[in-house]
Structures are given as structure tokens and as C-alpha cells.
Chain A
Amino acid sequence: MKKFNRATGRLAEDMATDALLKNGFKIIQRNYANRYGEIDIIAKDGETVVFIEVKAKTGNRFGTPEEMINRKKLTKIRQMAEIYMSDKNSLCRIDVVAIILNNNKQLVSLSHYRNVY
């Protein structure tokens, strides 16, 4: 089951990356990790560094992906982002991409929320 989820996550991150590229973002790094955890995607929107958390759900039986992002999760991302930004000087923000897939792992919906922190 766990393995299954990871595969889904991987798939969703690819979908998110495609969507971001289509919107003019430049991808800097994927799966950036430090001692606090992992940031799914780091991209650049113009001059602004954007930290992106991707959240995917299969079906809607257990609620929407948006519901899975809470303050605690965002604080964690913020901490990691601060470390990443410590030697850089530019605008930055945190975005969330919420993806819903159907049981055949096909995209049902993708929403991009900007500046969520």
C-alpha cells in the first residue's frame, strides 16, 4: 500500500511539473531535502523563488487534497525554505498544487494555489 502511494505521488509530481512549466515556471530542483524533510519542487516564477508542495489524492472518498495541507505542514515547508533561502536574496513564496486522480491514475483536476503561507 505504501509503495503504491509513493508511485502515485511520483506521478502527481510529474503532472505538477508539467503544469508549472506550461505556466512559465522554471524548475530549479525536485525533491530538495534537508534535515527537516523534503520539498517536492523548487521553481522560479520570474524572479521569485517558489517552493511547491504537491498533494495528490486518488478518488474523493477520503476528502480533498486541499484538506490534507494544514498549518503544521506549511510551517515545516517554511522552515526548509528558510534554510534554502539563507544564502540567497530574492523574493520567495510557497505554493500548493492539489491533484485529484481517478482510480486509473488519470488526471481529474489540478489546482494551483499561490502564496499559501
Chain B
Amino acid sequence: MLTKICSIANIGLETIPVIVEVDVAQSGFPGFTIVGLASKAVEEAKERVKTAIINSGLEFPSKKITVNLAPADLPKDGAAYDLPIAVGVLIAGGQITASPAVNLKRTFFYGELSLDGTLRPTRGILLLALHAQKKRNTTIIVPMPSANEATNVSGIKILPVKTLTRLIRHITAGQFIIPLKRPKAKKVTEKIIIEFDLNEIAGQELAKRALTITAAGGHNLLMWGPPGTGKTMLARALPGILPPLTDREALEVTRVYSVAGLVSPGEAVIQKRPFRAPHHGVSAAGLIGGGSNPLPGEVSLAHLGVLFLDEMPEFQRSVLESLRQPMEDGTIEIVRAKGHVRYPASFTLIAAVNPCPCGYYGHPKRECKCSERQIAKYHHRISGPIIDRIDLSVSVAAVETEKLSLTRQNEINRLSSKEAKELVVKARQIQTKRFAQSAIYTNSQMRNRDVKRFASLTSDAENLLKIAADRFDLSARSYFRLIKVARTIADLETEEKILPRHMAEALQYKQNT
């Protein structure tokens, strides 16, 4: 007998429907064959399915079983086909009969089986849910540990399954599984462990301000200065002031994390804005994504969040260069022999750089031991096109000893992370409203025509910018960049128009070189 079970294949963030056809023949030698370009993980489903069925107290048909994963020319990977294959074998083998109440044509089965018949957390559940949403009246049957991921998607019936035995009782209409409810639209309070509070960092007021602007407008930031002045600490303090993800953003981020298998069991949606800090030994594939079935890399995992590159010149040049496309387009396209995959990669880049290999070039008290050539070579490691895409540049100079003193006096006027976050959240809300009709979220993502539309420069501010442009010989790109930064600074003050003082502040963060 032949049975067809619906499932899906994930290629990057795209989903393709897969029909799992199971045939149990009435003649011939017993055997179990899977065709349809199954990878090793799918091939091994045979043993998992067989053992899981037996351990669920059912009989595995000792007949000739053929499984076809259609379309036959699409490579299939992952363990998610375990469940559809198991259900197909049981129905086709006549072990169970699907009740008419279970419409197999509109039900997607998806999940990895454990040898004891329980279902294991499986990645890509959110994508399955989004796929099922495109058709009306669909049901998805997914492992209970991962089922919450699907609850963000409306218009589908989500049936969480714990064990194969329980699922069989559902299919045979013995005892139906209760569909998961969508969570009420209550705001889940964010739990963020703040590694560093801004007020723990001595001095560096300018850098803290730049960090606030970055968090508010999503601008790329370059911090340079000698070792030990707090560059890394400042970057680590950033997660504490980043605004929470909006619902729309959260879904986008969760989609990427779902594919990467990084949504923890039971979690419905990623709520924390991503902050990724890869080590400088990272490979190009690790950073932008890769593998023969390309998985998202750090840039995609930092989507709508922050990518922090500490000691940026220490990264391999080819690795840094691979950042160009995502920094420009907000997406990354990975091409492999098997095909190409596109992942979102709209991140805020925070880079920390020493001024020279020894770190003390331009230090007020210590001598730099590097030769001119060494310094030039060091600077060359970061190419112009990358530097050109950085909106804010700030010097994190050595801290005066006075500011380091541990007395309470000093800490009174310091900006705390909580205060900074309030400012940031307010500025983000203005931007969310501003870009409600467009596909972007922050000022930094504005294209030139958006800048013209939304900047609302006062004429004084524009004059100031023109003078600066003449004086410093600014490129067209820097010109627009300064307006974007000024827009964020104005948003931080909830000012509708960009005033000269906003523009003046933006000019401070211009790059010197």
C-alpha cells in the first residue's frame, strides 16, 4: 500500500514542500530503502524509525519498504523526516488507519525521533509554520520541545507531540492532541544580564555618547585607542542599552536562529537583540556562513543586532573583506556547489582598533615602539571600503588618573545603562513610527532617497554641513552619513528637525583619516 505524508525541506530560509511517499510491498524480500537524494542523516533515519516503532510497542513490517522523498532531485538533509517516514510506514504497512478527521493532505509532519519513540527538538520549526501558513486550514505536527517556536505564526493548527505512541492515538482518533494556543500578546519582560553597566566604566564620556547613538540608530562604530582604556568594556556594555526587539524584528531574528538550531527548547521567540563577538581567528565561512548545506554565520546571527569585532586588524583580511556585501545590502548570499542561499545580515558593526601594533601610538605618556612601516601596514589591514561604511569614529584615549579614583563623588554624574537605554528606546520608537511603511528599522539603514525624505534639516544645520563638507572635502557618502547620524542625535532629543547642534555633534564623530 502507498501512503503520502507532507513535510518540508529547508534550503536556507526558503522552504520547499516535500512529499514523503512510503510503499510497503506485498511481495519480495524484506528491506528498507530511502530514495530521493537523502543525505547521511536521512539515510540513518531507517535505523531510528525502525527502532522507535518497535520500542513504541508496535510491529515494524518485515516487508519490502520503499520511501521516496519527492521532489527527487532536491537534496534532503537533517533528521526532520524521521516522523513523516515513521507515520508513513505505519499507515502503509496497515498497522494503523488514519481517521478521516485527520486530513493527511493538509497536515505537515516534521521532527526527529529518538530510539525510544520520543520526539527530539528539531530545528526549523518556525519555517515550517510559516510555510504551512500560506495554505488554508493546515495542521503541523511537531516535537513538543520545539513547538513553541511555531506559536508566533497565526492561522495554523499546531499539534505538539511528545511520543510516537501519543501521535498514533491522535491519528487513529483514539485521543486527539490539543492544539497549542498562540500566546497572548502580553509583553514578556526581558531578562538581560548586563555584563557591564556604563557607569562602571571610568571616563570616556564621548565614547559612551557614541555608543548610545549607535544603539539608538544602528550606526556602525569604530573605537580606537591604546590597550586598557575600555574599548572592549564599552562594547560589552552595549547589550545593556540596546532596545528590545519589536515583534516584527523578533520574528526575523527567530527565523535565522531556528534554521541554525539555536532556539532553545521551549523558547517561542528570540527576545534579546543579538550581540555576537566572534574571535579574530574566525574563518570566512564562520563569519558569513557556509558548509555544503550553508548554515547562517556570525553576520546573520547578528541580524538586527550587533557584531563586535575586537582587535579588528587581527582578523584575516579576506575574512574582513567578506563583510562588504552584507554591510552594503543587509543580506548575505552564500554560493556553494549545491546551490545558493540568502540569509539576512543587517547588523551594526562595532569595531575596536589599536592605533598601532604596540598600541601606544599617540599616547600622551608612553612611547610607541613601532616603525612607520609597521603602523602603515597595520592600518592597511582594514580596507578603505570597510572603513568607509563606518558612521561613527571615536577615540578612546587613556583615562586620566583622576577619573579612576574610586570615590563615590566621581560616579554621580555618570550615565548609567538604565538611563541610556531609556533614551535609546525612545529614539527607536520614533524611528519605528517613521519607517512603519518601509522595510527598514533604523536611521542607519536609510537610503539616500529616504534621507531626503525624512531628514528634515533646518537651513542652519544644512549650512553648517556645507561648510564642513567644503572644509574637510567630504565625499557624497560621508555627507549623507553625517545627516543620518545627526538624525539619530535629534531623535535622542525627540527633536523633529535636525538643529545645528545635532549636526555639530555628528561632525565630532567624523573619521579623521
Q: Does B62 contact A (CB under 8 A)?
A: yes
Would you give the shortest CB distance from A56 to chain B, in whole angstroms? 25
Question: CB distance B27 to A93 under 8 Å?
Answer: no
Q: Does B26 contact A (CB under 8 A)?
A: yes
* Chain A residues positioned under 8 Å from B27 (CB to CB): 89-92
The residue that A78 contacts in the complex, of B26, B29, B62, B63, with Cβ under 8 A, is B29
**CB closest chain-A residue, reference B26:** A91
Question: CB distance B28 to A115 under 8 Å?
Answer: no
* Chain B residues positioned under 8 Å from A91 (CB to CB): 26-28, 30, 63
Question: CB distance A92 to B62 under 8 Å?
Answer: no
Would you give the shortest CB distance from B275 to chain A, in whole angstroms? 54
Q: Does A42 contact B (CB under 8 A)?
A: no
Which of A21-73 touch B at CB < 8 Å? none
Size of the B side of the interface (Cβ < 8 Å), in residues, is: 8
Q: Does A94 contact B (CB under 8 A)?
A: yes
Main secondary structure of the interface of A (DSSP, over half): mixed
* Chain B residues positioned under 8 Å from A113 (CB to CB): none
* Chain B residues positioned under 8 Å from A89 (CB to CB): 27
Most buried by A among B30, B31, B62: B30
Contact with A along B21-59 (1 / 0, CB 8 A): 000001111110000000000000000000000000000
How many A-B contacts are there with CB distance less than 8 Å? 24
Q: Does A97 contact B (CB under 8 A)?
A: no
**CB closest chain-B residue, reference A114:** B62
Q: Does A80 contact B (CB under 8 A)?
A: no
Would you give the shortest CB distance from B18 to chain A, in whole angstroms? 29
* Chain A residues positioned under 8 Å from B26 (CB to CB): 91
**CB closest chain-B residue, reference A48:** B62
Would you give the shortest CB distance from A14 to chain B, in whole angstroms? 27
Would you give the shortest CB distance from B457 to chain A, in whole angstroms? 80
* Chain A residues positioned under 8 Å from B29 (CB to CB): 78, 81-82, 92-94, 117
Complex-state Cα separation, A114 to B31, whole angstroms: 13
Complex-state Cα separation, A115 to B27, whole angstroms: 14
* Chain A residues positioned under 8 Å from B63 (CB to CB): 91
**CB closest chain-A residue, reference B25:** A91
Would you give the shortest CB distance from B26 to chain A, in whole angstroms? 7
Complex-state Cα separation, A92 to B63, whole angstroms: 8
* Chain B residues positioned under 8 Å from A117 (CB to CB): 29-31
Contact with B along A74-91 (1 / 0, CB 8 A): 000010011001000111
**CB closest chain-B residue, reference A51:** B29
Would you give the shortest CB distance from A52 to chain B, in whole angstroms? 14
Contact with B along A94-117 (1 / 0, CB 8 A): 100000000000000000001101
Would you give the shortest CB distance from A19 to chain B, in whole angstroms? 20
* Chain B residues positioned under 8 Å from A115 (CB to CB): 30, 62
* Chain A residues positioned under 8 Å from B31 (CB to CB): 117
**CB closest chain-B residue, reference A78:** B29
In the complex, 5 of the A-B residue pairs with CB atoms within 8 angstroms, ordered by the A residue number, are A91-B26, A92-B29, A93-B30, A115-B30, A117-B31
Identify the B interface with A (CB < 8 A). 26-31, 62-63
- The 6 lowest CB-CB distance pairs between A and B, nearest first, are A115-B62, A89-B27, A115-B30, A93-B30, A90-B27, A91-B27
Task: Knowing that A91-B63, A117-B29, A117-B30 touch, tell me 8 more A-B residue pairs with CB under 8 angstroms.
Answer: A82-B29, A85-B28, A90-B27, A91-B28, A91-B30, A92-B28, A92-B29, A115-B62
